[in-house]
Amino acid sequence: MVEPFDQRMIDVGDGHQIYLEQSGNPLGTPVIVLHGGPGGGCSPYMRRFFDPSAYRVVLFDQRGCGRSRPHASIEANTTQHLLDDIALIRRELGIERSILFGGSWGATLAIAAAEAAPDAVTALVLRGVFLARKRELDWFYGGGVARFFPDRWAEFTRLIPEDERGDLIGAYHRRLFSGDRSEEVRFSLPWLSWENSLAGLEIAGGSNAPPDYARAFARLENHYFVNNCFLEEGQLLRDRHMIEHIPAVIVQGRYDMVCPPQTAWELAEGWQRAQLRMVAASGHALSEPRIALELVRVMDGMRDDDAGVLR
């Protein structure tokens, strides 16, 4: 496992400090890695996709999650705050331009960051695309995917009274922010389990996540979703023209039940510099074997530029 050559906490203002690390080659091509969730945090596993002799890999825990502090905080925690943090990280590390690498919510944030500062992005590598639209949230929390997983849906909804099940994001919000820590933990576990159990093609039941992690993940994700991720409806597709000169590779599991392939298709359609790579027999998770292998191929290809991705 590649170890970081730099680890630090950065004060980003608003009472927040975020964890940041760098690994690989300090003189290599910069890659800023954007983790999912919101609220998931980065992990050493995320370093494995990058040749350490070629890339300068920057990972950080977004506000409120992972090693960032205060833990599970939603204060001053919006998409714009995260975009400001990315800009601050670039300044702090002296990075003028970089590849943005992100999956799921990390793909959302990568697109938003590129649209906010296109001159700072050399390429986009996206996985399991989520564009934060109402139809995508309805698919996952409004009963769409439940038609495939009625048993898991029953587990997810059983703690919520029937008269509140028409708005599960709102119903969970009331409980995840009740002020009673034990209740918040109790409802964070099924929230996390519902997503985790559908992330891989081979479905595993339940979640063994530590309560503090589950609480931070559920609170942050729910906070963003109840606020439509602090984006206008359809904003990322509407503003795609601002980044169409940037090369992009989109790696999408053919059987992704969390972020269905239709979204990746819509993002890539008509974007001449975007490559959409549908990965057979794969779901959503970064750890899906074929997804992981394809992401390594993408980054090795960009290193060598043997496919002309950056041309």
Q: Are 189 and 158 in contact (CB under 8 A)?
A: no
Q: Are 310 and 123 in contact (CB under 8 A)?
A: yes
| C-alpha to C-alpha distance for 74 and 65, rounded to whole angstroms | 10
For residues 140 and 152, state if they share a domain: yes
Indicate whether 145 belongs to any domain: yes
For residues 212 and 247, state if they share a domain: no
pLDDT of residue 306: 54
* 256 counts as catalytic: yes
pLDDT of residue 209: 82
For residues 276 and 173, state if they share a domain: no
pLDDT digits (tens, 9 = 90+) for 7-32: 999 999 999 999 999 999 999 999 99
For residues 99 and 204, state if they share a domain: no
pLDDT of residue 272: 98
For residues 129 and 248, state if they share a domain: yes
pLDDT of residue 308: 53
| C-alpha to C-alpha distance for 58 and 54, rounded to whole angstroms | 13
Catalytic-role residue among 51, 61, 85, 256: 256
Catalytic-role residue among 68, 73, 98, 104: 104
* 104 counts as catalytic: yes
For residues 54 and 160, state if they share a domain: no
* 68 counts as catalytic: no
**3-state SS class at 252:** strand
**Residues forming a β-bridge with 20:** 8, 60
For residues 143 and 258, state if they share a domain: no
- Residues of the chain where predicted confidence (pLDDT) is lower than 50: 307
For residues 224 and 161, state if they share a domain: yes
How large is the angle between the packed helices 168-176 and 181-199, nearest 10 degrees? Answer: 140
What's the structural domain count of the chain?
2
Candidates 61, 75, 59; CA nearest to 13 is 75
Q: Are 210 and 216 in contact (CB under 8 A)?
A: no
pLDDT of residue 305: 79
| C-alpha to C-alpha distance for 38 and 229, rounded to whole angstroms | 9
283: containing domain: 6-133+232-304
Instruction: Choose one of 206, 229, 252: the last residue of a domain.
Output: 229
For residues 120 and 174, state if they share a domain: no
